[in-house]
Amino acid sequence: MSTQPQQPILEVDRLHHEYSAGRPAIDSVSFTIGSGELVSIVGPSGCGKTTLMKSIAGLMRFTSGTVRLRGQDVNDVPADLAMVFQDYGRSLFPWMTVEANVELPLRYLQVSKRERKDRTAHALAEVGLSRDSDKYPWQLSGGMQQRAAIARALAYRPRLLLMDEPFASVDAQTRSDLEDLVAAVHRKHGTTIMFVTHDIDEAIYLGDRVVVLTGAPSRTLKELPIDLPADRDQIETKATSEFIALRSEVALLIRQAVAESGHRRTPQS
């Protein structure tokens, strides 16, 4: 968790996206992420969080607005961006070992073999998979597969790491462990992270700020600074009055967003 936001790494300004039928998925979303920040994005189910992330990643063309990464307009997949997906089972190549999966992006960067091996080994050690480097993804648990996906992103050393509900498919204990892993990586490396989640506790626990979106078509409803100690604990931090107050505020905002979204969709007589 960063203490002092720097010059924005990511700038999203009045982003608007419409499907082919002209139905808007994102109406007007604006926010920035400073260097070294971890910003959580939450909102009602179906509000367009994944569409937003794909637009920022250059995987989907948006209708209007601007996305800038390090001051440059995003019109394609940026070279200094990495992404960790929810479906870890499809993000790792099953015929490659864990080590080979982590090393693969570095080959495309034409990193020397010695540096590839070094960066891969360090990344695997950081996520606790050094002893499993020669295994295949299908030999690992879901949580371990997601650790491998995180290791691949760490080895790549992106300027911006996008995480799209990465822990939605794992059990509660594994989720807590992976949250703490991301928090530790963020503290150690100062990695700039945009973290999309539907879990309010997760958003607050990890974030320097939380951006709350309205229901579809999504807009920026509110940004909340998370004024909690940088070193956080799954039990102690979540039991504090500050955390409980933030949880209630975000939950009320999402409830408001759901109600307003339903009202907008109701045909007028």
- Taking only the tens place, the pLDDT of each residue in 110-158 is 899 999 999 999 999 999 999 999 999 999 999 999 999 999 999 999 9
| pLDDT higher at 86 or 260 | 86
- What is the residue-averaged pLDDT of the chain? 90
SS3 assignment, position 29 = strand
Residue 269 has pLDDT above 50, yes or no: no
- CATH superfamily, domain 1-80+160-268, is P-loop containing nucleotide triphosphate hydrolases (3.40.50.300)
pLDDT of the residue at 114:
96
pLDDT of the residue at 161:
96
Pairing of strands 209-213, 38-42: parallel
Residue 230 burial (C-beta neighbours within 10 Å; 0-12, 13-18, 19+): exposed
How many CB atoms lie under 10 A from the CB of residue 8?
A: 18
Query: Residue 266 — pLDDT band, cuts 50, 70, 90?
Result: very low
Percent of the chain with pLDDT over 70: 94
User: Of the candidates 46, 44, 49, 67, which has an alpha carbon nearest to the alpha carbon of residue 57?
Assistant: 67
DSSP single-letter state for residue 136: -
SS3 assignment, position 200 = helix
Delimit the domains of the chain by residue range.
Answer: 1-80+160-268, 88-157
- Angle between the N-to-C axes of helices 142-156 and 113-126, in degrees from 0 to 180, rounded to the nearest 10: 140
Q: What token pair was written down for 268?
A: 């007028």
pLDDT in tens, 34-55: 999 999 999 998 888 888 999 9
Q: What DSSP string describes 1-23?
A: --SS--SEEEEEEEEEEE-TTS-
pLDDT of the residue at 264:
53
Residue 190 has pLDDT above 70, yes or no: yes
What does the alpha-carbon distance between residue 114 and residue 116 come to, in Å, rounded to a whole number?
Answer: 5
| pLDDT higher at 61 or 126 | 126
Task: Compute the average pLDDT of residues 8-26.
Answer: 87
The DSSP bridge partners found for residue 210 are 40, 224
| Pure H helices in the chain | 49-56, 88-91, 98-108, 113-126, 142-156, 172-189, 200-206, 241-265
Task: Compute the average pLDDT of residues 26-31.
Answer: 92
